[in-house]
Structure 1
Amino acid sequence: MIPFNIWIVEDDTGFRRILQRMLNRVDHITCARTFPSCEDLFETIDEDVHPDLLLMDLGLPGMGGVEGIQKLTQVAPEITVVVLTVFNDKQKVLDALDAGATGYLLKTASHEEILMGLQNVFLGGAALSPSIAKIVLQEMRKPEPSEEFDLSDREVEVLEQLAKGLSVQEIADALDIAHRTGRFHLSRIYEKLQVQSQAGAVAKALRAGII
């Protein structure tokens, strides 16, 4: 496994320590820094050392998690953000993904599910708790498809597969196309939807009624 470094923003001291211990037990993961608020994070983020991935709570004192994600995409866009929260309502999910989060996990997830989600994100995929994916897909009404983004039929098919939680390779297999072709379609989707991640693409496509 490729080693990677994770930081945590979580105001619950007990849960923050549990998370840090859990992550540091994994051979290829290091979690050296944790923060009780976004304000504390941004006092440090200007330093040369950045994490590969940041676990962000949403219900934080002061600056909220969504605002923190938005600011992070401006000051350190190379950092990948995964939400880990108790909030499972549709609006918070879409707001976080629109802000730039690559994944959205619930605190009710097992340690194994959290670790698997983080690993998927680090390897270039997305992470959505199954219940979050279900909430988004069930509660979003499906209006007439929007032509605003000028997506091709194939790009819409790729988005539909993304919404099922498939990786790029799985999408390529499902659509009988080359992996390189799947990645090309994904890059075009990002460009047209003006998003930074697979999860953001799915959220924006759902909002626009594309899928």
Structure 2
Amino acid sequence: MIPINIWLVEDDAGYRRNLRLSLDREEHITCSCVFPSCIEFFEALQEDVPPDVVLMDLGLPGMSGLEGIRRLAQEFPDVAVVVLTVFKDKEKVLQALDAGAAGYLLKESTGPEIVQGLQQVFFGGSALSPSVAKIVVEELRKPSPAEDFKLSRREVEVLEKLAEGLAVKEIAAALDISIGTAGFHLTNIYKKLQVQSQTGAVAKALRSGII
């Protein structure tokens, strides 16, 4: 089994200590560093060899785990992050995954479940607690509003510029297309949204969540 080096970012001292002891009992896993905050974590990253996987809480002092995930994705994109938290609400789950987390585990997970999740992420997969996986599946099943109206990406871009108050000529310039092409897209947008004007198109797009 390939050894996995884990860093843990967790502000609860008792939980942090117990989890580290649990992970260190695994032959192929080493929890080499633990930190009570993202600030100390990033300070160590500047001076040490990055870990294979980071286990990160979300409710951290100073810099939230969510901010930490975003920063890590920018500065150390090869380091995988697995969220380990008590938060199970949809908003936090989706925010963390959008920020770049490769896994989202709840603290109610057992030791073996956490180890399995770390292994899955280390080998390029993802790890989600069952209730979190349900949230993700439900979101994936939702069709996007643009797909409902069969709008192309370019048509959505034209709508966004329209919502900013740009005229057709300005839209064409902003998107680097001809005025005729911009007008063509607008005509198609009117047909697909079943509206007769620019304001009608913008209003319907906003109500429908397209823009």
TM-score scaled by length of structure 2: 0.67
- Counterpart of 1:41 in structure 2 is 41
Q: Does 1:110 align with 2:110?
A: yes
Structure 1, unaligned runs of 5 or more: 151-207
Q: What CA deviation, in whole Å up to 9, does each residue of 1:182-201 have, x standing for no partner?
A: xxxxxxxxxxxxxxxxxxxx
- Counterpart of 2:127 in structure 1 is 127
Contact 1:83/1:104 (8 A) holds in 2: yes
- Counterpart of 1:27 in structure 2 is 27
**Matches for 1:170-185 after TM superposition, within 5 Å:** none
Distance 1:5 1:30 in 2: 5
Aligned alpha-carbon RMSD (Å) = 2.3
Deviation of 1:148 (Å): 5.8
Q: Which has the higher contact order (CA 8 A, sep 6+)?
A: 1
**Matches for 1:1-211 after TM superposition, within 5 Å:** 1-138=1-138, 142-144=142-144, 146=147
Structure 2, unaligned runs of 5 or more: 155-208
Matched AA of 2:37: S
Deviation of 1:139 (Å): 6.4
Specify the SS of the correspondent of 1:34: strand
What is the aligned residue count? Answer: 152
Deviation of 1:141 (Å): 7.3
Specify the SS of the correspondent of 2:105: strand
* Bigger radius of gyration among the two: 2
Q: What CA deviation, in whole Å up to 9, does each residue of 1:29-76 have, x standing for no partner?
A: 111100000011111111241100000000111110110000111221
Closer/same/farther in 2, CA of residues 65 and 149 from structure 1, 3 Å limit: farther
TM-score scaled by length of structure 1: 0.67
Specify the SS of the correspondent of 2:8: strand
Contact 1:90/1:139 (8 A) holds in 2: no
